[in-house]
């Protein structure tokens, strides 16, 4: 057994242990990488100067328990947030991806609720054949997480709608629910997600633009597919644009056939959005 | 004729000014639906504090509803009480706000550090048990209590390594922190069993050294024994070794709230609750009922 090192000061000991147990290359490499921290341990063979062996484990094996636990815990957290991405990639590839994410994105928060937030961008920056779709799928899954953690106030009351005078409608602004997320995709993300949730084995789909609204009402999360026109109007309204101006913008940017579609579906769209609780209040713009 | 003296009904003594809530269960998301629809009888629930911070949505809505029906206590993993980083007082203020919102009876965390240099490993990392660390932790426990507005309750963690430079056994370190910083103790009996296996000490030595009058809560749980070492996995029913240590803790005077933690392959709520209630049955049996 090597000669015990003098106990390093507390901060140095903590920095060393964190550095070694979070090193993506493993504990032995972590010990070498942490040599400059000045705890008197330069190689794994010198570890017993700092960490005692246990009754049945070496010092290295004892440190390795923490190393394994660190990555396993955060992989599990990401798996909770991104089960559909994990299905798309397969268990092993997802774990490799998650470990890269964990190394690139160490947690700096006391809560893990938002730990996976950067995953869509992390996937978008990659160049595998699946990464563009996986990034959009992650965006949908993260929108679901955000909706869970956002307030979902009561939907706009019918009385508030019936109180609006006919000539005031163009000036109405709708307040979107904080739990509402509108997403525009290059791939059919929601059908893939729905198939995954139904227990099917969906595979990487070819590109096909799609739009989805994610919302929460009480304990339940909802995903609503939107047509491109409905998505355009809803997006404009949720930015606080008065109804009259939003419809004028849609009219200006639409072809005659699209306009016909708007006219025939407008009432249905609003019926769905209002009953789903997308809006929680309305105000009249000056 | 001597006046007939009625023997007063024995009620559990409040520990540390805190009530004995009886036998409770750790609140887990997988049981939300059952709790909110069936409202089963359970003496109290322990809430994982960190899951209800940094959210304004569904978790808090559920907790508000549960708080109307069940006594709650808060248990966290991110206080980072042993770290050399500055105390995250904003986090402590968030804990206090949550405690006030849900009427939690006490707030507990672990005697460990979870990160340094601004990073959080979300793991319970062991401290070198030195005089320097003791002074450091005592100072911080007092500071946390000042912001919380009440005494902090500290749990003994499971540990898998020891620093060669440690000068105190963990039971002496925990006792010194609790006494000097006037903190309560959450005695995790499963952690004592796990650490005893990993470090080769007698679990009863640990119990006998603690100021048991400061124990306001006990944890029971399962672990995974790998032969060479044990890991605190909170899996399966509470093993006999943990229940035996529970019996011993009771005999030595640890008459405190009991909480069962089950975090891996979590079964139905009734299964978890039934296992927790074995604590009551053991107390009754020991009393000759």
Assess if residue B88 is contained within a domain: yes
Report the run of H or E that residue A217 belongs to, with start and end.
strand A210-217
Closest CB to A113 among B55, B117, B163: B55
The pLDDT of residue A83: 98
Whether the predicted pLDDT of B39 surpasses 70:
yes
Rounded to whole angstroms, the Cα distance separating B104 from B150 reads 12
What phi and psi, each to the nearest 5 degrees, are found at residue A273?
Answer: -65, -40
The pLDDT of residue B284: 78
Rounded to whole angstroms, the Cα distance separating B11 from A131 reads 62
pLDDT (mean) for B107-120? 98
A243-252 helix and A228-238 helix, angle to the nearest 10 degrees:
140
Rounded to whole angstroms, the Cα distance separating B75 from B112 reads 14
The pLDDT of residue B145: 98
- State ipTM: 0.93
Q: What is the CA radius of gyration of chain B?
A: 19
Q: Do A54 and B163 touch (CB under 8 A)?
A: no
The DSSP letter of residue B77 is S
Assess if residue A67 is contained within a domain: yes
First to last CA, chain B: 32
Q: What is the mean pLDDT of chain A?
A: 94
Partners of residue B83 in chain A, C-beta under 8 Å? 14
What phi and psi, each to the nearest 5 degrees, are found at residue B158?
Answer: -75, 140
pLDDT (mean) for B203-228? 97
Assess if residue B162 is contained within a domain: yes
Asked whether residue A155 falls in the same domain as residue A254, the answer is yes
Percent of chain B with pLDDT strictly greater than 70 = 94
Closest CB to B121 among A11, A22, A219: A22
State how far residue B230 is from chain A, nearest Cα, in angstroms.
10
Asked whether residue A160 falls in the same domain as residue A58, the answer is no
Closest CB to A110 among B50, B62, B84: B50
Q: Do B200 and A55 touch (CB under 8 A)?
A: yes
pLDDT (mean) for A2-23? 84
State how far residue B288 is from chain A, nearest Cα, in angstroms.
39
Are residues B174 and B111 in contact, defined by beta-carbon separation less than 8 angstroms?
Answer: yes
The pLDDT of residue A199: 96
**Total number of domains constituting chain B:** 1
Chain B residues 36-65 with CB within 8 Å of chain A: 36, 50-51, 53-59, 61-62
Assess if residue A43 is contained within a domain: yes
Q: Which residues contact A188 (CB under 8 A, 6 or more apart)?
A: A205, A208, A210
Rounded to whole angstroms, the Cα distance separating B194 from B231 reads 7
- More confidently predicted of A220 and A286: A220
Report the run of H or E that residue A174 belongs to, with start and end.
strand A172-176
Q: Which residues contact B61 (CB under 8 A, 6 or more apart)?
A: A219
Q: Do A14 and B164 touch (CB under 8 A)?
A: no
The pLDDT of residue A4: 55
Neighbours of A161 (CB within 10 A): 14
Give the end of a domain, one of A31, A51, A81: A81
Assess if residue B280 is contained within a domain: no
The pLDDT of residue B6: 43
pLDDT band at B98 (very low <50, low <70, confident <90, very high): very high
Which stretches within chain A are classed as H helix?
10-21, 27-33, 59-81, 83-89, 91-104, 119-124, 131-148, 158-162, 189-197, 228-238, 243-252, 256-275
pLDDT (mean) for B145-172? 97
Q: Do A56 and B136 touch (CB under 8 A)?
A: no
The two three-digit tokens of residue A177, written as one number: 């629910």
The pLDDT of residue B12: 53
Whether the predicted pLDDT of B2 surpasses 70:
no
pLDDT band at B1 (very low <50, low <70, confident <90, very high): very low
Q: Within an 8 Å CB–CB cutoff, is residue B122 touching chain A? A: yes
Rounded to whole angstroms, the Cα distance separating B99 from B265 reads 29
Q: Do A57 and B228 touch (CB under 8 A)?
A: yes
pLDDT band at B285 (very low <50, low <70, confident <90, very high): confident
Q: Within an 8 Å CB–CB cutoff, is residue B86 touching chain A? A: no
Whether the predicted pLDDT of B289 surpasses 80:
no
pLDDT band at B9 (very low <50, low <70, confident <90, very high): very low
Asked whether residue A61 falls in the same domain as residue A177, the answer is no
pLDDT (mean) for B117-125? 97
| Residue burial A211-221, b: 16+ Cβ < 10 Å; e: rest | bbbbbbbeeeb
Least confident residue range of A149-163, B108-122, B175-189: A149-163
Assess if residue B211 is contained within a domain: yes
pLDDT band at B282 (very low <50, low <70, confident <90, very high): confident
Assess if residue A263 is contained within a domain: yes
Are residues A195 and A202 in contact, defined by beta-carbon separation less than 8 angstroms?
Answer: yes
Asked whether residue A74 falls in the same domain as residue A158, the answer is no
Partners of residue B32 in chain A, C-beta under 8 Å? 219
Domain around B47:
23-269
The pLDDT of residue B280: 87
Percent of chain B with pLDDT strictly greater than 90 = 89
- Say which CATH number the domain at B250 has: 3.20.20.150
The dihedral sign for the CA sequence A184, A190, A193, A197:
positive
Partners of residue A63 in chain B, C-beta under 8 Å? 161
Rounded to whole angstroms, the Cα distance separating A93 from A99 reads 10
Q: How far is CA A111 from CA A99, A183, B51, B98, in A?
A: 19, 26, 7, 14
Note the pLDDT tens digit of each residue in B240-273.
999 999 999 999 999 899 999 999 999 999 999 9
Are residues B169 and B193 in contact, defined by beta-carbon separation less than 8 angstroms?
Answer: no
pLDDT band at A148 (very low <50, low <70, confident <90, very high): very high
Query: Which residues are paired to B163 by β-bridges?
Result: A51
What phi and psi, each to the nearest 5 degrees, are found at residue B10?
Answer: -75, 120
Q: Do B54 and A150 touch (CB under 8 A)?
A: no
**Total number of domains constituting chain A:** 2
The pLDDT of residue B13: 58
Whether the predicted pLDDT of B5 surpasses 60:
no
Rounded to whole angstroms, the Cα distance separating A247 from A266 reads 10
Note the pLDDT tens digit of each residue in A104-136.
999 999 999 999 999 999 999 999 999 999 999
The pLDDT of residue B3: 43
Assess if residue B45 is contained within a domain: yes
Instruction: Classify B261 as helix, strand or coil.
Output: strand
pLDDT band at A38 (very low <50, low <70, confident <90, very high): confident
Residue in B227, B235, B164, B282 with CA at minimum distance from that of residue A3: B164
∠ at Cα A36 (A30, A39), nearest 5°? 85
Of all residues in chain A, the one with the smallest CA distance to B95 is A110
Q: Do A15 and B117 touch (CB under 8 A)?
A: yes
pLDDT band at A1 (very low <50, low <70, confident <90, very high): very low
Instruction: Classify A131 as helix, strand or coil.
Output: helix
Domain around A58:
10-81
A25 burial (CB, 10 Å; 0-12 / 13-18 / 19+) is exposed
Assess if residue A107 is contained within a domain: no
Partners of residue B59 in chain A, C-beta under 8 Å? 148-149
The two three-digit tokens of residue A206, written as one number: 């070819």
User: β-strands B45-48, B23-26: how paired?
Assistant: parallel
User: How are strands ordered across the β-sheet holding A210-217?
Assistant: A181-185, A210-217, A220-226
Rounded to whole angstroms, the Cα distance separating B58 from B65 reads 11
Are residues B12 and B44 in contact, defined by beta-carbon separation less than 8 angstroms?
Answer: no
Give the end of a domain, one of A81, A102, A127: A81
Are residues A231 and A180 in contact, defined by beta-carbon separation less than 8 angstroms?
Answer: no
The pLDDT of residue A285: 83
Mutation target to probe the A interface, by most A beta carbons within 10 A, among B121, B130, B196 is B121
Q: What is the CA radius of gyration of chain A?
A: 26
pLDDT (mean) for B178-205? 98
- Say which CATH number the domain at A256 has: 3.90.930
B19: left (phi over 0), alpha (psi -120 to 50) or beta: beta
pLDDT (mean) for B13-31? 89
pLDDT (mean) for A10-36? 96
Closest CB to A7 among B61, B83, B163: B163
pLDDT band at B288 (very low <50, low <70, confident <90, very high): confident
pTM comes to 0.92
Q: Do B165 and A5 touch (CB under 8 A)?
A: yes
Cα–chain center distance at B120? 21
Closest CB to B57 among A7, A108, A150: A150
The DSSP letter of residue B27 is -
Assess if residue A188 is contained within a domain: yes
Q: What is the mean pLDDT of chain B?
A: 93
Closest CB to A216 among B58, B82, B133: B58
Assess if residue A65 is contained within a domain: yes
Chain B residues 151-210 with CB within 8 Å of chain A: 160-167, 198-200
Q: Which residues contact A203 (CB under 8 A, 6 or more apart)?
A: none
The two three-digit tokens of residue A92, written as one number: 């092993």
The pLDDT of residue B53: 94
Give the end of a domain, one of A81, A115, A134: A81
pLDDT (mean) for B169-180? 98
Assess if residue B278 is contained within a domain: no
Whether the predicted pLDDT of A36 surpasses 80:
yes
């Amino acid at each position: 057994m090597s000669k015990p090192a003098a106990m390093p000061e507390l901060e140095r000991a903590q920095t060393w242990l964190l550095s070694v147990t979070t090193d993506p290359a493993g504990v032995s490499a972590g010990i070498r990488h942490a040599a400059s921290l000045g705890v008197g341990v330069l190689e794994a063979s010198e570890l017993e100067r700092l960490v005692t062996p246990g009754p049945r484990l070496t010092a290295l094996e004892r440190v390795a328990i923490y190393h394994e636990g660190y990555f396993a815990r955060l992989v599990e957290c990401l798996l909770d947030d991104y089960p559909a991405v994990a299905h798309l990639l397969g268990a092993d590839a997802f774990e490799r991806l998650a470990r890269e994410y964990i190394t690139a994105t160490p947690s700096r928060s006391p809560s893990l609720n938002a730990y996976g937030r950067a995953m869509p961008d992390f996937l978008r920056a990659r160049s595998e054949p699946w990464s563009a779709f996986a990034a959009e799928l992650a965006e949908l899954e993260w929108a679901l997480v955000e909706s869970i953690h956002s307030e979902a106030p009561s939907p706009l009351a019918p009385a508030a709608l019936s109180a609006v005078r006919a000539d005031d409608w163009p000036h109405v602004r709708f307040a979107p629910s904080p739990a509402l997320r509108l997403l525009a995709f290059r791939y059919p993300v929601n059908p893939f997600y729905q198939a995954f949730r139904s227990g099917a084995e969906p595979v990487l789909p070819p590109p096909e633009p799609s739009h989805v609204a994610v919302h929460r009402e009480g304990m339940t999360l909802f995903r609503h597919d939107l047509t491109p026109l409905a998505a355009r109007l809803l997006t404009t309204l949720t930015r606080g644009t008065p109804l009259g101006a939003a419809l004028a913008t849609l009219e200006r940017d639409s072809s005659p056939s699209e306009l016909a579609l708007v006219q025939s579906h407008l009432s249905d769209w609003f019926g769905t959005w209002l009953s789903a609780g997308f809006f929680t209040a309305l105000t009249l713009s000056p | 004729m001597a006046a007939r003296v009625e023997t007063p009904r024995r009620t559990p003594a409040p520990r540390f000014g805190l009530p004995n809530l009886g036998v409770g269960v750790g609140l887990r998301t997988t049981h939300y639906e059952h709790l909110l629809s069936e409202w089963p009888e359970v003496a109290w629930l322990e809430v994982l504090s960190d899951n209800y911070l940094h959210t304004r949505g569904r978790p808090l809505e559920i907790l508000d509803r549960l708080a109307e029906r069940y006594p709650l206590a808060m248990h966290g993993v991110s206080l980072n009480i042993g770290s050399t980083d500055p105390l995250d007082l904003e986090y402590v203020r968030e804990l206090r706000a949550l405690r006030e919102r849900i009427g939690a009876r006490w707030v507990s965390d672990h005697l460990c550090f979870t990160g340094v240099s601004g990073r959080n490993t979300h793991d319970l990392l062991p401290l070198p048990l030195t005089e320097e660390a003791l002074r450091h932790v005592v100072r911080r426990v007092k500071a946390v209590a000042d912001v919380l507005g009440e005494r902090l309750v500290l749990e003994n963690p499971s540990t898998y390594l020891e620093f060669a430079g440690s000068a105190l056994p963990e039971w002496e370190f925990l006792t010194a922190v609790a006494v000097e910083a006037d903190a309560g103790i959450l005695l995790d009996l499963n952690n004592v069993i796990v650490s005893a296996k990993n470090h080769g000490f007698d679990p009863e030595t640990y119990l006998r050294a603690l100021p048991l009058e400061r124990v306001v809560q006990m944890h029971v749980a399962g672990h995974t024994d790998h032969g060479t070492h044990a890991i605190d996995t909170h899996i399966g029913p509470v093993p006999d070794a943990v229940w035996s240590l529970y019996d011993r803790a009771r005999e030595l005077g640890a008459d405190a709230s009991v909480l069962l933690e089950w975090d891996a392959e979590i079964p139905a709520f009734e299964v978890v609750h039934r296992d927790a209630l074995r604590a009551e049955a053991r107390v009754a049996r020991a009393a000759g009922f």
